[in-house]
Amino acid sequence: MTKEEKEAKRLEKLQRERDRLYAMAEYERKHADCEYICGIDEVGRGPFAGPVMAGAVILPKDCEILYLNDSKKLSAKRREELYEEIREKAVSWAVARVEPERIDEINILQATYEAMREAVSKLSIRPDILLVDAVHIPEVDIPQDSIVKGDAKSVSIAAASVLAKVTRDNIMTEYAKEYPGYGFEKNMGYGTAEHRNALAVMGPTPIHRRSFIHNYV
């Protein structure tokens, strides 16, 4: 392949990626009359252990972050790279966490709402609208657009999902050092076979959600 052909192929690939991102900004265009559009997403509703996290991100209008996508569709290396770029380019961003004891106290859905409200409250700028993945956040006096599978349909929600995911994964990796044997550095607190076996043998740690593990302890 010639140098010119390689360059043409590179440009074609870049254009495909820009077309994908344009399609993914459908809801940002829908609310183009809003100055500050905030994407919100949660990570960690399903695990047996660790906090539930929420990310909130306001990106500049027409912000381009190549390869941004639903955090679950990205490699760990790509997520780490995007994490830095999102924080660098965002108008404002925040993450919030709700701990296992609180999850057990009020249930995971209410804890998720709590994390989302806190993330919004930590932003340095008040958003004009919230784009939220799948849910409507109660007790928030900012207009909301709830989008099913929003982390794959909105660049703002995708950015929030990346920040929340990377932050939570780093927290669980640190917990793996404090509580070895459960595989937290690999399963991030989810109920894998290794994790369930460790629970049966060693019992729960202080970061386990008691309301999630009563069938395994």
- What pLDDT does residue 215 have? 84
The torsion defined by the Cα of 152, 156, 159 and 161, in degrees rounded to 10, comes to -60
Instruction: Provide the number of structural domains found in the chain.
Output: 1
Q: In the chain, which residues have pLDDT < 50?
A: none
Alpha helices in 25-75, H assignment, sequence order = 26-30
For tokens 């254009």, name the residue: 15
| Predicted model pTM | 0.94
- What pLDDT does residue 125 have? 97
Asked, for residue 157, whether it belongs to a domain, the answer is: yes
E strand intervals along 19-169: 37-43, 52-58, 92-98, 129-133, 144-147
pLDDT digits (tens, 9 = 90+) for 53-74: 999 999 999 899 999 998 889 9
- What pLDDT does residue 4 have? 85
Alpha helices in 34-127, H assignment, sequence order = 76-89, 100-106, 108-122
Residue partners of 15: CB distance under 8 A and separation at least 6:
none
Asked, for residue 202, whether it belongs to a domain, the answer is: no
Asked, for residue 27, whether it belongs to a domain, the answer is: yes
Q: Which residues of 171-195 are buried (b: 16+ CB within 10 A; e: fewer)?
A: bbeebbeebeebbbeebbbbbeeeb
Residue partners of 52: CB distance under 8 A and separation at least 6:
42, 43, 44, 45, 97, 98, 103, 108, 111, 112, 115
Distance CA 70, CA 153 (A): 8
Where in the sequence is the domain holding 46, given as residue range(s)?
A: 3-167
- What pLDDT does residue 57 have? 98
- What pLDDT does residue 216 have? 82
Residue partners of 25: CB distance under 8 A and separation at least 6:
154, 155
Asked, for residue 172, whether it belongs to a domain, the answer is: no
Tell me the CATH number at 63.
3.30.420.10
pLDDT digits (tens, 9 = 90+) for 75-96: 999 999 999 999 999 999 999 9
Asked, for residue 197, whether it belongs to a domain, the answer is: no
For tokens 């490699």, name the residue: 75
